[in-house]
Amino acid sequence: MKKVALATLLLVAAACTQAPKAPTAKSYPIVDSLLKVMTLEEKVGQTVLFTSDWTVTGPTMREGYLDDIRAGRCGNIFNAYTAGYTRKLQEIAVNETRLGIPLLFGYDVIHGFRTIFPINLGMSCSWDVEAIEESARIAAREAAAAGLHWTYSPMCDISVEPRWGRISEGAGEDAFLGSLIAAAMTRGYQGDDLSDVGTVLACVKHYAAYGAPQAGRDYNTVDMSERWLREFYLPPYKAAIDAGALSVMASFNELDGVPATANRHLLQDILRDEWGFRGFVVSDYTGINEMVMHGYASDVEDAGRLAMNAGLDMDMQGASYMDYMVGLVRSGKVRESTLDEAVRRILNVKAELGLFDDPFRYCSAEREATETLTEDNKAAARRIASGSMVLLKNDGVLPLQKGKRTAVIGALAASKDDLLGSWRGAGEVESVPASILDAIREVAPVAYAEGAKEMGDDRSGFAAALSAARSAEQVVLVIGEDCQWSGEAASRSDIRIPGVQTELLEKLAATGKKVAVVLLNGRPLDLSRENELAGALLEAWYPGTMGGYAVADVLFGDFNPCGKLSVTFPRCLGQVPIYHYAKNTGRPYIHPEAKYESRYLDVANEPLFAFGHGLSYTDFEYSAISLSSDSFSGGGSIRATVTVLNNGSREGTETVQMYIRDLVGSVTRPVKQLKGFERVTLGPGESKEVSFTIDAETISFWRQDMTWGPESGDFMLFIGGSSDDVKEIPFSYAE
């Protein structure tokens, strides 16, 4: 057939434009016109997403996929990037297909594109929402300059499961903090105008509750009450939608017995009908096909029928839609109007990106050269990495002194690759300027010994490590997990430090030296033994491109640590799941000698390091809480104020946290819920009043009848520097 010019379609649109069905999308004349002339096969093609083989073979496509693009059978590509490569593929779509509909290019830009920031769990420990938004904005500029339109981020999965490898990709355990971060990342990626060539389309994932797999095993079954889902798992997804995200990725897991990929309650009832989402939903990689193995679909064709009818618009890599959707529509098993709505949503997003105005607007070799790995980007990565680190323990060991002979021990200390973590986008080891070892060498004379690798039982390096420690004035041991031990398909049944690294720490501690331990890891770990042995514990996570310098900045005091844990660290795996918003039970643990209470026989109930915990090189002192009133009602509010004093000798940043407990409710309430926080920077001896407003929305929850709102009663308010270190005061509310 003769190729139809887009300009002609626009003229047709002026004469006959049919409004889209609310609330799924805005109306674009070009989209309305295209839908009028597209064949059934061309419509299905817009719902197909295939991969480039970049990660295996560089910038190449399977020949069959190129034919699919030319035939209009594939309208979207992921894992293809660089301005030159995406331009070549886009030229095929625009110049060699009948309608010239541009391709949409997606990629996993999770915590940076070329300039890699700390893993997302690490960044969440900064509690610095503006900095996290900045990281997403930088990632968007770099990705967009490389020809990309779409990132599969933010990951909004709340998780209290440290065995699950993908806890590294999220914002931790708390819905309040996670919601602020999800919205910030969405704003960072999409900006104020999605057609700006410095922005990319955000994708809210993994919808929904992917972070709660049974046994902590990736892809495993998820089952929870509707109330728990809505209160503690759904809010970050909604926050990203409210911030303007225009794509959502369905999760691999089932929920309430129905795979998310075909869960109409999630995709239609909640996402579109309740939240008003107007973008498109994409499956995760072969997620449609996997419903056969779930036992929910009889075959791949049936899976495609279920997914499309449930509201899933685009098929990632599974080819279910490409192979079967035409037949499903012609047989009446899927209405063509249902397919039309899916195509409309996808084309509308392409229109919002400006791709119909200029399909090549993102393919700029000049921007790619000037906006990638800039000095400003690297400076931001270094600053954000330092701010994401959490000082878990410090017995006067840190900060270290510059110029003093320093023993640096551990294979991870010399590794540049591990600094990048998993899901490092297009980040390359060659772009990492310094390992932790390299960075320390720039500020102090170093005796280095590998000592122990991150895995295995090789102790042959112990002797050299002990010798280096004895000859040094200060000792740094870098231990943790290989970076590939977190992320997708990286679940662990044991969350202790692997290999013989802790054994090496025991030997070093036995020398009488106080050891500063730097941790590289992507999940909460059981650090009970390390906490006993180390003089200091610095949680550095996987800190990214500039992570080596950032670690040195914190170790030697150029940056005063200010990170606070966004996830609880247990004493042992047996405590998992453990989190700060647990409920009280009818027999809470109160009396140390009592038997018939909710407690362990062999370990304390309390975690090793609580949510919100994080030390500084200075000391902060909190006053008692003062309230503007001890009660409020209806549309009123009260104001809670504390004075925070820097009692130390150097400037520092403190995250002041507010928690609330509803003492009696129509359903049981958590013992503590985060409801606000403020970061304050204070000089030595400086103090500041920090205030929080509490209103009806602050104390609202999903009540017994599953309506959202407050209930009259008594409450307890907590303010402090950690969930387990707070001042408290009661107040009441009357409707």
- pLDDT tens for 642-659 read 999 999 999 999 999 999
Domains of the chain in start order, with CATH, are 43-366 (3.20.20.300), 375-575 (3.40.50.1700), 620-734 (2.60.40.10)
**pLDDT score for 58:** 55
- Which band of pLDDT confidence, cut at 50, 70 and 90, is reported for residue 602? very high
**pLDDT score for 702:** 98
Mean pLDDT to the nearest integer, 699-726: 98
- Which band of pLDDT confidence, cut at 50, 70 and 90, is reported for residue 315? very high
**pLDDT score for 3:** 43
Mean pLDDT to the nearest integer, 455-460: 97
- pLDDT tens for 276-286 read 999 999 999 99
* 161 alpha-carbon distance from chain centroid: 14
**pLDDT score for 124:** 99
Mean pLDDT to the nearest integer, 42-62: 79
Per-residue pLDDT for 15 more than 80? no
| CB neighbourhood size of 245 (10 A) | 27
Per-residue pLDDT for 489 more than 90? yes
Per-residue pLDDT for 56 more than 70? no
**pLDDT score for 34:** 98
- pLDDT tens for 509-526 read 999 999 999 999 999 999
Q: Are strands 536-539 and 390-394 parallel, antiparallel or unpaired?
A: antiparallel
Mean pLDDT to the nearest integer, 234-241: 98
Q: What whole-number distance in Å separates Cα of residue 541 and Cα of residue 392?
A: 12
- pLDDT tens for 66-81 read 999 999 999 999 999 9
- Ranges of H-type helices in 191-234: 226-228
Q: What whole-number distance in Å separates Cα of residue 701 and Cα of residue 708?
A: 5
Q: What whole-number distance in Å separates Cα of residue 296 and Cα of residue 302?
A: 9
**pLDDT score for 592:** 85
**pLDDT score for 13:** 37
Mean pLDDT to the nearest integer, 245-268: 98
Per-residue pLDDT for 115 more than 80? yes
- Rounded CA Rg of the chain: 27
Q: What whole-number distance in Å separates Cα of residue 160 and Cα of residue 174?
A: 9
**pLDDT score for 335:** 98
Residue 274's region, left for phi above 0, alpha for psi from -120 to 50, else beta, is alpha
Q: Would you please indicate which residues are annotated as catalytic (active-site) residues?
A: 284
- pLDDT tens for 662-697 read 999 999 999 999 999 999 999 999 999 999 999 999
Per-residue pLDDT for 593 more than 90? no
**pLDDT score for 2:** 36
Average pLDDT over the chain, rounded to whole? 95
Per-residue pLDDT for 503 more than 80? yes
Helices (H) then strands (E): counts for the chain: 23, 27
Distances (CA, A) of 658 to 130, 465, 596, 674, 723: 19, 44, 32, 6, 9
Tell me which residue of 105, 280, 290, 273 sits closest to 204, measured CA to CA. Answer: 280
Percent of the chain with pLDDT over 90: 94
Mean pLDDT to the nearest integer, 516-537: 98
- Which band of pLDDT confidence, cut at 50, 70 and 90, is reported for residue 53? confident
**pLDDT score for 60:** 58
**pLDDT score for 64:** 83
The answer to whether 309 and 334 are in contact (CB under 8 A) is: yes
Mean pLDDT to the nearest integer, 390-403: 98
**Coil, strand or helix: which one is 34?**
helix
Overall residue count recorded for the chain in this entry: 735
Global pTM?
0.96
Per-residue pLDDT for 574 more than 90? yes
Cis peptide before 162 (omega within 30 of 0): no
Mean pLDDT to the nearest integer, 158-175: 98
- Which band of pLDDT confidence, cut at 50, 70 and 90, is reported for residue 413? very high
Per-residue pLDDT for 394 more than 90? yes
**pLDDT score for 61:** 66
